[in-house]
A and B are shown apart, each in its own frame.
Chain A
Amino acid sequence: MTPEDLPLPAADPDAVAAATARFVASAAADVDVAYDVFETPVGELVAAMTPSGLVRVAYSDWNGGPDAVVEDLARRLSPRVLAAPARLDPLRRELEEYFDGHRTAFAVPLDWTLVVAFGRRVLRATAAIPFGQTSTYGRVAAAAGNPKAARATGNALGQNPIPIVVPCHRVLAAGGLGGYTGGTERKELLLGVEGALPPRLPG
């Protein structure tokens, strides 16, 4: 008998898929980061939960695609990252209700691990802006405890790791819409859902 007579057992893709699904179902509760990729009215999102709560929402096209987002999470949080859509069910449901106009506040718990120091104060202040209302960089800076830090506030909002749910789209520039992580079209769309779109300024 030569090694050639001992052929590799035939691979069975269905059996592999079934065994993998069973493993994921049993392990989903133990992973450090569970994620899912799904479509919404504002495009494809990657969302990730830790045992503490929602840690990341990313626009796929704005963040280099799902793989890049997931790799970034593995680097910054833990390599124990698994696609576990069931863990994201509550968020997906709330987002559906939000886009259908039936939800004005999100109830999923938040994990703030990815933001520290002043940035976290900015985003907490942002999270307190009610549905249907808007604020400005200056007012959010003041609410975060430093009225003069408008630029740092803008940076913190631009790096919001949990957009939509932490509604940085409700923060406008003094003279107009201002920027948005995900593009200003999305900012307008979200404000439209909330009936809070400011009148278009000329020029």
Chain B
Amino acid sequence: MSLPPFQRFLDAQAADVHRFLVAAVGAVDADDCFQETFVSALRAYPRLREDSDLRAWVLTIAHRKALDHHRARARRAIPASDRMPEPVAPAQPSALDRDRGLWARVHELPRKQRAAVLLRFAGDLSHREVAQALGCSEEAARRSAHEGLKKLREELSA
């Protein structure tokens, strides 16, 4: 048993990582984060333990890149009065638009809840894997995801 060639790892994980990043940072910025995720993964890959869960590992890296992205965006944030007007929404939002809107709301959650909801539901990791990615207890990961969902539900029904 040894690490698979990086190419095989890339082929196996690219779709899941991209989908997670689209949910985490939006389609426009997902490409940059995707690139940074796999560049970091390539660098660290030979030091990885052979029995590692590669999917949880690379999604943890993607989560950190998404976090960096959110921090950078917060630093760049401009006052509301200077913002360009929002583009006009299409009259009949498609299912895809609705999903995007939902994930955009996830971005506004408090940091821990956002991370837990994204890793659990966009990354499809178990609560235990989410806990490892976030460096918290499984119970705390479960609670953060639960609270995040609760908050989304409240916002949607408001």
Contacts and interface: CB of A to CB of B under 8 A. Distances in A.
Q: Do A and B actually bind?
A: yes
Contacts of B42: 27, 30-31, 80, 82
A36 to B, nearest CB: 11
B34 A70 contact: no
Interface string B11-38: 0001100110011000100110011001
A1 interface: yes
A19 B99 contact: no
Interface stretch (B66-74, B81-89, B117-125): B117-125
Contact of A1 (B31, B34, B35, B156): B156
B46 A16 contact: no
Interface string A14-27: 01101110111011
User: Do most interface residues of chain B lie in helix, strand or loop, or is the interface mixed?
Assistant: helix
B149 A20 contact: no
Contact of B18 (A1, A3, A15, A74): A15
Nearest to A75: B2
A203 interface: no
B7 to A, nearest CB: 5
Contacts of A80: 6, 42, 45-46
A1 B147 CA distance: 11
B3 interface: yes
B5 A12 contact: no
B149 A3 contact: yes
Interface residues of A, number: 37
B5 A74 contact: yes
Contacts of B18: 11-12, 15-16, 19
Given A19-B34, A27-B39, A80-B45, A8 B5 contact: no
A15 B153 CA distance: 30
Interface in A132-156: none
Contact of A6 (B5, B10, B45, B152): B152
Nearest to A30: B42
List the 9 closest A-B pairs by CB distance, nearest first.
Answer: A1-B153, A81-B5, A74-B5, A79-B3, A19-B34, A9-B23, A16-B18, A23-B38, A19-B31
20 contacts: A1-B153, A3-B120, A3-B149, A7-B99, A7-B102, A8-B121, A9-B122, A11-B19, A12-B22, A12-B27, A15-B30, A15-B31, A18-B31, A22-B35, A26-B39, A27-B38, A30-B43, A74-B4, A79-B2, A82-B6
Interface of B: 2-8, 10, 14-15, 18-19, 22-23, 27, 30-31, 34-35, 38-39, 42-43, 45-46, 96, 99-100, 102-103, 106, 117, 120-122, 124, 149-150, 152-153, 156
